[in-house]
């Protein structure tokens, strides 16, 4: 979207991270492996640490979409221990008024570019089964369903589907 900037989070933006994360969990509770109730209880130091780690961009990264000085989207990437070549794309959210504007694609691309810069050979994500707009977005970005599924950590009555993308290298 014109006027929207995708950028890495700054280490000092812990409370802004809290704000957008709680907005995301409230707006789309079935899309995440956590809950508003759980994350509301995090102390400010937890949010500051998350922002600092996401800003470093080493084992994890956090990008925000900013329009007019306001955060309108969020995404993260991280390498799980034991999987140093295939990071997960996580915490993807774009506020409803910014959906279908290209912001989500820019956020996904930012994590993919970060993964490539870190030497990754593939990237993966988990998406809630039935979330057709998200699955369509990820397919357009180059992810494919792997056939793997698992119960959602935040709501075991829902299933998550694994998607994976082989990265150029």
What's the confidence (pLDDT) of residue 128? Answer: 95
Tell me if 22 is assigned to some domain.
yes
158, 135 contact by CB (below 8 A):
no
Distances, alpha carbon 102 to alpha carbons 21, 111, 154, 160, 165, in Å: 20, 15, 28, 24, 19
- Judge whether residue 2 has pLDDT over 70: no
153, 108 contact by CB (below 8 A):
no
Instruction: Quick: pLDDT tens for 73-103.
Output: 999 999 998 888 999 999 999 999 999 999 9
pLDDT band at 53 (very low <50, low <70, confident <90, very high): very high
Q: What is the mean pLDDT of residues 18-35?
A: 95
- Judge whether residue 115 has pLDDT over 80: yes
Q: Which pTM does this prediction carry?
A: 0.95
What's the confidence (pLDDT) of residue 82? Answer: 84
Tell me if 64 is assigned to some domain.
yes
CA distance 26 to 148: 27
CB atoms within 10 A of CB 99: 15
CATH of the domain at 85: 3.40.630.30
What is the domain extent for residue 35?
4-119
Tell me if 144 is assigned to some domain.
no
Overall domain count for the chain: 1
């Amino acid at each position: 979207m014109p006027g929207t900037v995708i950028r890495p989070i700054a280490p000092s933006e812990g409370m802004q991270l809290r704000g957008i994360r709680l907005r995301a969990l409230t707006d789309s509770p079935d899309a995440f492996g956590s809950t508003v109730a759980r994350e509301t209880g995090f102390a400010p130091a937890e949010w500051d640490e998350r922002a600092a780690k996401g800003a470093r961009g080493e084992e994890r990264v956090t990008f925000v979409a900013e329009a007019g000085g306001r955060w309108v989207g969020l995404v993260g990437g991280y390498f799980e221990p034991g999987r140093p070549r295939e990071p997960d794309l996580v915490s993807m959210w774009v506020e409803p008024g910014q959906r279908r504007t290209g912001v989500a694609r820019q956020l996904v691309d930012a994590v993919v570019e970060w993964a490539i810069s870190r030497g990754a050979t593939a990237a993966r994500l988990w998406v809630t089964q039935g979330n057709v707009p998200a699955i369509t977005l990820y397919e357009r970005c180059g992810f494919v369903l792997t056939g793997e599924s698992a119960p959602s950590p935040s709501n075991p009555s829902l299933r998550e589907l694994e998607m994976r993308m082989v990265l150029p290298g």
